[in-house]
Structure 1
Amino acid sequence: MLIPLKQDAINDLIPAIATGKQYAYYWANFPTLLKNLFISLVGVLFFWLLGSFFGRAGDNISLIFRIVMGLYWLWSPIYWASVRNNRFRRYRYCGFWRGKVLDVYLTEEIVKEESAIDKLGRVIIVENRRRLFNMEIADKSGFRATITTPVKRIYKSINRGQAVEGLLLTNDPDFMNIAQITDVYIPRNKLWLGEYPYLRRDVFLDIRRELAAIYGR
């Protein structure tokens, strides 16, 4: 089932400025924080050296850029999440989509490869892998997609045949060519799945209740 929504619904569902969940996604983990702190340090040193090169004339401007770069670790998650959101906000049409889970399965992907030396002095490649949960979804019209996300224990409750809902995006007013699907919602389990939390979930659930009252479940 696909129910077209008003064009301004995209702006309500996918915010221009990062939500808390989107900020947390780009904050990620301690290694990411260290990387961002390193970028902040390099930026501060660069603009300090640049300001010193131009003398007093460039000192005030240099100070502004040093402050901005010094806080890069804090504001960068907002910036990168907002950039990602705006890619989806550019689509002209969106629709509330409801389908079913076709299949669920686990895979692995290589996150990083590193060289190491074993006890015999041989160079070996150490692969850092992560397990992924994959969920194939579809509807009666023939639309199919695969949602991939890092494994969580709670996903064990997801089974084939369960209803799944999300937002489809396109530039085609007839929705014949779907460009993107957002993170999705499984009503029975009250679970959200997706690589990235595009949607404002409170707004999506409000729209879901309104449509349920009109069209039924």
Structure 2
Amino acid sequence: MESRCKHGAEEDTADGLDDGWDEADAPDITLLTADEVEDILTLRPTPEQLRYFTGDYTTIFQRWGGALLLTVVAHNYVLVAAGAVTFPLWLPILQATNKNRIVRQRYRHVGLWRAEVLEVDIVQRPQARFTERTVRGRKSRFPGEPFVRLLVGDQSGARTEVIVPYERRHEQMRVGEPAELMVLAEQRSFARFKALKEVYLPESGVWLASYPYIMRGRFLEISLDIERERQAAMAVDVPP
């Protein structure tokens, strides 16, 4: 099995970092292998990603209406008409594939960051502000509906915020509980990193995501593998 590198508490804590982390307050980030990244951040669109880009009934109706109109206009051009009539089907696939490709190509290294919940806010947006607006790119189902703001971070000072429409299960979330999420970086040291806006809270069993980047089943398996490896390493280090 390939040896993992836990960044922050062990190696690469200061050498080559832009700002550097003190050993005591470094973020808990475990570098993932290439195979693990391929499993978790697949280039192939997932069903959840396709549903995200398919949109609501209004969006679907508008796309099919536009496709029908374009098909009628371009009926003398077989290839254009064929592409137009299937436009609502292949557009979500194209959008999801492109988004996945950008994430995979832009950053060289991917890690699992173990942090904690710093703040949880359930807020009712004012009617005037929320009408015809979006939450992180997703149109609200109802004007003025509540949303959840989750702030995640650790002792290093690193922070990331996720905002999603409110669901009853979000009531289970608590400040101080562990949080796990994927982070991307140019440097293997993760001196600077970008967190994907998809957070898993193991204690409450809640996922929050502004966009479904992750193959969640595989993510949970890898997280469990990392924890088992840490426990095994700790057992070896314990003096007899």
Q: Using a 3 Å threshold, how does the CA distance of structure 1 residues 111 and 183 change in structure 2: closer, same or farther?
A: farther
Counterpart in 2 of 1:106? Answer: 122
Count of residues in Structure 1 that have an aligned counterpart in Structure 2: 192
1:51-130 alignment, distance < 5 Å = 51=76, 62-90=77-105, 91-107=107-123, 108=125, 110-112=130-132, 128-130=143-145
Greater C-alpha radius of gyration:
1
> Shift of the alpha carbon at 1:94?
0.6
Counterpart in 2 of 1:120? Answer: none
Q: Give the root-mean-square deviation of aligned CA atoms.
A: 2.1
Note the residue ranges of structure 1 that are not aligned, 5 or more in a row. Answer: 52-61, 114-126
> Shift of the alpha carbon at 1:8?
4.5
> Shift of the alpha carbon at 1:111?
4.6
SS at match of 2:44: coil
Checking the alignment, whether the CA contact within 8 Å between 1:101 and 1:135 is kept in structure 2 is yes
Q: Using a 3 Å threshold, how does the CA distance of structure 1 residues 72 and 111 change in structure 2: closer, same or farther?
A: farther
Q: Using a 3 Å threshold, how does the CA distance of structure 1 residues 131 and 139 change in structure 2: closer, same or farther?
A: same
> Shift of the alpha carbon at 1:3?
0.5
Q: Take 1:39 and 1:105, find their aligned partners in 2: how far apart are those partners?
A: 40
Checking the alignment, whether the CA contact within 8 Å between 1:7 and 1:92 is kept in structure 2 is no
Counterpart in 1 of 2:169? Answer: 154
Note the residue ranges of structure 2 that are not aligned, 5 or more in a row. Answer: 1-27, 134-141, 233-240
Counterpart in 1 of 2:68? Answer: 41
Q: Using a 3 Å threshold, how does the CA distance of structure 1 residues 111 and 7 change in structure 2: closer, same or farther?
A: farther
Q: Take 1:162 and 1:88, find their aligned partners in 2: how far apart are those partners?
A: 28
> Shift of the alpha carbon at 1:180?
3.4
1:18 paired to 2:41 = no
Structure 1 counterpart of 2:29, one-letter code: L
Q: Using a 3 Å threshold, how does the CA distance of structure 1 residues 65 and 8 change in structure 2: closer, same or farther?
A: farther
Checking the alignment, whether the CA contact within 8 Å between 1:168 and 1:182 is kept in structure 2 is no
> Shift of the alpha carbon at 1:160?
0.3
> Deviation digits for residues 59-100 of structure 1, max 9, x if unmatched?
xxx223322221122222222122221221112101011111
> Shift of the alpha carbon at 1:128?
3.6
Structure 1 counterpart of 2:102, one-letter code: R
Bigger Cα displacement from structure 2, 6-15 vs 65-74: 6-15
Structure 2 counterpart of 1:183, one-letter code: E
TM-score, reference length from structure 1: 0.81
